[in-house]
């Protein structure tokens, strides 16, 4: 850890933060191995322990270092990067990881479909081999930030004669290619952070396939496990996020207080602190390997807590909480929750129990893989996908 701190100090001395171009500065940080310190040398890391990342990030934050494009981190950092690192070829790692980190290239996720959300393995988007390319046709939905993305991680069906989990393959899709049509999905907030994406004859080079043909579910599982840790177990200080916004209002607006609201706030504050510390323990455990099903528990708790906290936030504001500042249809460049009013946060957090794995599916994962309860009866596991009723 001491050596890493020294490297950060040396880097800051050689690369002043004041007036720096964010992309160039972040590129230099990547090249120095201080982007993701647990990644290999030459790919943004130093081969250090994952547990050292938080200290490095905090040192750069304290120095007011440039930060990446706000649209980049969740899917790019949290999902695409670890998947590319584990399954990508050397050429893919060299091509994609650096511009992903600097925010030059934003990523989105083409997984869910109108008929395959919670049961993702039933997806119907087809990829047909044509020489050194794959021709992709289908529809994806709930695609966050697709309207600003350059690349997408995509799961498609390459063999419909196999059972649903076995006939999938995983690709990197260029969102600027012909045949990619991104359409906004307006949410209850009034904005269109999400999109539906239509793929019509999109040609993807076989060189942009991650993992072997037919192993798409294996690759996608890595993505999903990382997604749940990214959403539910991100690094945070005490009173970061939504609970901090409610606590701030409570302290600054004594006229809004009631004994009942006080009791609810204290209970939720304790729950938020318990989640923060549990997430810290989970991240420390990740230093020993890849994310497991524990991330599902963190994400489930994250969703439940956020919805309870924002509900309290609206009630605390009384009549003010019913006001809504702006319901204009717009397509944001990043998912900004913290700076919005109580009404926006309340409505937006309703999506937390759907995105990143529905709470119902996460409970099944916890029951199956953590508690090892008997599995639910399934009749579609060994049947060829093409024979499943749809």
Return averaged pLDDT per consecutive 10 residues of the chain, 390 residues in all.
84 92 96 94 92 86 85 82 96 97 94 90 97 98 94 98 96 98 94 95 98 97 82 74 93 94 97 90 68 79 95 93 86 78 92 88 88 85 87
pLDDT at 73: 66
Q: What is the pLDDT of residues 220-247, one digit of tens each?
A: 999 988 777 777 666 678 888 899 999 9
pLDDT at 290: 61
* Strand spans (E) along 99-193: 107-110, 126-130, 133-140, 151-157, 168-174, 180-185
Q: What is the DSSP letter of 192?
A: -
* Strand spans (E) along the chain: 107-110, 126-130, 133-140, 151-157, 168-174, 180-185, 194-205, 209-210
pLDDT at 72: 66
CB of 135 within 8 A of CB of 52? no
CB of 222 within 8 A of CB of 74? no
pLDDT at 356: 80
The residues that are catalytic are 227
**Tokens standing for 108?**
């989105």
Judged by DSSP in three states, 184 sits in strand
Backbone angles phi and psi of 203, in degrees to 5: -100, 120
CB of 20 within 8 A of CB of 64? no
Whole-prediction pTM: 0.89
Residue 94 neighbours by CB under 8 Å, 6+ apart: 43
- The CATH number assigned to the domain with range 219-370 reads 1.20.140.10
CA atoms within 13 A on the CB side of 293: 12
- Which of the four CATH numbers 3.60.20.10, 1.25.10.10, 1.10.10.10, 2.40.110.10 does domain 107-214 have? 2.40.110.10
Tell me if 107-214 shares its fold with 219-370.
no
Domain ranges of the chain: 1-68, 107-214, 219-370
């Amino acid at each position: 850890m001491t050596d890493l701190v020294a490297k950060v100090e040396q880097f800051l001395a050689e690369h002043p933060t004041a007036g720096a171009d964010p992309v160039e500065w972040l590129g230099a940080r990547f090249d120095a191995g201080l982007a993701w310190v647990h990644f290999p040398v030459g790919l943004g890391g130093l081969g250090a322990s994952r547990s050292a990342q938080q200290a490095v990030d905090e040192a750069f934050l304290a120095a007011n270092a440039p930060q990446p494009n706000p649209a980049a981190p969740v899917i790019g950092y949290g999902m695409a990067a670890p998947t590319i690192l584990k399954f990508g070829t050397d050429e893919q790692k060299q091509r994609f990881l650096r511009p992903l980190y600097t925010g030059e290239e934003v990523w989105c996720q083409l997984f869910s479909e109108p008929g395959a959300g919670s049961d993702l393995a039933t997806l119907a988007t087809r990829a047909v081999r044509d020489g050194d390319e794959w021709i992709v046709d289908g529809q994806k939905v709930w695609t966050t930030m697709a309207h600003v993305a350059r690349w997408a991680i995509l799961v498609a069906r390459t063999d419909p004669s196999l059972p649903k989990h076995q006939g999938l393959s995983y690709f990197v899709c260029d969102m600027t290619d012909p045949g990619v049509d991104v359409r906004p999905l307006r949410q209850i907030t009034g904005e269109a952070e999400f999109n539906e994406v239509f793929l019509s004859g999109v040609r993807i080079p076989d060189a942009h396939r991650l993992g072997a043909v037919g192993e798409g579910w294996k690759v996608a599982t890595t993505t999903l496990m990382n997604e749940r840790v990214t959403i539910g177990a991100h690094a945070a200080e005490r009173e970061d996020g939504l609970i901090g916004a409610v606590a701030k209002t409570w302290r600054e607006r004594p006229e809004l207080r009631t004994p009942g609201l006080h009791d609810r706030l204290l209970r939720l504050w304790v729950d938020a602190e318990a989640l923060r510390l549990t997430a810290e323990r989970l991240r420390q455990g990740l230093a020993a390997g890849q994310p497991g099903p524990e991330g599902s528990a963190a994400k489930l708790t994250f969703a439940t807590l956020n919805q309870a906290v924002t509900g309290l936030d609206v009630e605390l504001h009384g009549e003010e909480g019913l006001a809504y500042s702006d319901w204009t249809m717009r397509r944001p460049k990043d998912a900004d929750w913290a700076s919005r009013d109580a009404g926006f946060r309340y409505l937006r957090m309703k999506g937390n129990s759907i995105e990143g794995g529905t709470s119902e599916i996460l409970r099944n994962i916890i029951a199956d893989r953590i508690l090892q309860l008997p599995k639910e009866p399934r009749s579609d596991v060994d049947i060829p996908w093409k024979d499943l009723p749809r």
